[in-house]
Amino acid sequence: MIRDFDLFCKLKMIKNPYNVLLGAIDSMKPDKLCCSACNAKHTLERHDKYHRDYIYIQNGKVITSSVAIPRLICSSCGSTHAYLPSCIIPHSSYSLFFVLTVLSLYYLKILTVERLCEKFLISISTLYHWIKLFRLHKRLWLDVICHATTSDITFLSKLKNEDGFLKLFFLKTKRSFMQTKGFTICSRRN
């Protein structure tokens, strides 16, 4: 998988997540990317594509669209990779904007958990899974001491104004922010 964080802008300025995704895919330059298998530069080219669902919020409504995800092939080692812009959470249909919007509303306590889940068409277990994953990633980012003194809503507010956060998080943890696969979420309360 090739992750691209260069085109990501401040989260709070995103008006149409689907257009951001399409713009990132359209402006991708494979020859400028590095193969994640062999680290070769200037060896990637478009190879194929696959379709996946992309769930996002537009004007307060939950929208599911299909998006063509480009696959790249490395001429050096022959490995293939999906190209995922930063607004996509690997192994999830929900956009990063969607998840962070739901989490923001949860921490602001504007809606009850039941109403929040109804409004965004998610299960309560999905919401609590995101909360646990968010807290784990927050802790990884802020480290243990800073984590204890920073509220979840404060962290979300800072995150929306941070330009390089997603790239730095990926470099530090070798995982995309809010990516479930590869993380173990413990069930104890924090």
**pLDDT of 164-173, one tens digit each?**
777 777 777 7
Angstrom distances, CA of residue 184 to CA of 19, 81, 132: 32, 24, 10
Question: With 90 as the cut, is the pLDDT of residue 186 above it?
Answer: no
Kindly report whether the global pTM for this prediction surpasses the value 0.85. no
3-class state of residue 161 by DSSP: coil
Provide the sign of the torsion angle of the four alpha carbons 169, 87, 14, 131, taken in this order: negative
Mean pLDDT calculated for residue range 22-41: 90
Domain ranges of the chain: 2-173
Sole residue written with tokens 């769930």:
55
What type of residue sits at position 134?
Answer: F
Pairing of β 2-4 and β 80-85: parallel
φ, ψ of residue 41 to 5 degrees: the values are -105, 150
Please report the pLDDT score of residue 7 as a whole number: 45
The answer to whether 183 touches 169, Cβ cutoff 8 Å, is no
Q: Are strands 61-74 and 44-58 parallel, antiparallel or unpaired?
A: antiparallel
Per-residue pLDDT of 139-150, as tens digits, reads 887 776 676 777
Residue 117 pLDDT > 90:
yes
% of the chain surpassing 70 pLDDT: 85
**Length reported for the chain:** 190
pLDDT on residue 157: 79
Q: Over 60: is that where the pLDDT of 54 sits?
A: yes
pLDDT of residue 14: 64
